[in-house]
A and B are shown apart, each in its own frame.
Chain A
Amino acid sequence: ETGVTQSPTHLIKTRGQQVTLRCSSQSGHNTVSWYQQALGQGPQFIFQYYREEENGRGNFPPRFSGLQFPNYSSELNVNALELDDSALYLCASSLPGIGYGYTFGSGTRLTVV
């Protein structure tokens, strides 16, 4: 059974550019969430997808958008990158059912210069 995999592992972008981060959820997981973890901070919820529909969103601007595909993999897109977008972006998936924690990927480290 594979876990959650994210790509790329590291990325450097210039301010104003656009970026797409990818996530393959663990087998059987139909819910995918994205989190932003700034250096020295706890992860902050960006949004969640359940069966290809957005199912909740945190306090992030519309330039943060996402997709979930029929195989439950997901993308996070960020437009008009700002320096403060530099962070570790974590994808998490979960099993159907009550009381499960999420399985996290190792993250994509994004640096905006």
Chain B
Amino acid sequence: GDSVTQMEGPVTLSEEAFLTINCTYTATGYPSLFWYVQYPGEGLQLLLKATKADDKGSNKGFEATYRKETTSFHLEKGSVQVSDSAVYFCALSEDRDDKIIFGKGTRLHILP
């Protein structure tokens, strides 16, 4: 079945460092790909999305490119801030009305 694998956390970085969180997926069709963020004590917020191969999703300085050839959707940010500390989930959906399949999440700690 469909699945999402993302790098284990926690990831600890200093402020202004470059961030990469790796994500790969397995899907039978052509899924839409998402990154969600969960701040402490809150629900999930959609961070960015891409719906077809070579699309780049971006938001708040984060970006990820849908790579069909490597089945990847790695999250990157050039300069992280303390406020970026959260848990990040990579996810896919085969169809807008279908379920979302999430990875296990990567906890990110940014040190001042």
Contacts and interface: CB of A to CB of B under 8 A. Distances in A.
Contacts of A6: 43
Interface string A67-110: 00000000000000000000000101010011111111111000
B105 A56 contact: no
A97 B34 CA distance: 16
A55 B43 contact: no
A41 B105 contact: yes
Interface residues of B, number: 24
A24 interface: no
B42 A42 contact: no
Interface stretch (B13-21, B68-76, B78-86, B96-104): B96-104
Interface string A34-68: 01000011111100101000011010000000000
Interface string A1-22: 0001010000000000000000
A112 to B, nearest CB: 20
Contacts of B42: 106
Interface string B18-40: 00000000000000101010000
A40 B46 CA distance: 19
Contacts of A33: 99-100
Interface in B40-65: 41-46, 49, 51
A58 B96 contact: no
Interface of A: 4, 6, 31, 33, 35, 40-45, 48, 50, 55-56, 58, 90, 92, 94, 97-107
20 contacts: A6-B43, A31-B97, A33-B100, A40-B104, A40-B105, A41-B104, A41-B105, A42-B91, A42-B103, A48-B97, A48-B99, A55-B97, A56-B99, A98-B96, A99-B32, A101-B100, A102-B46, A104-B45, A105-B43, A106-B42
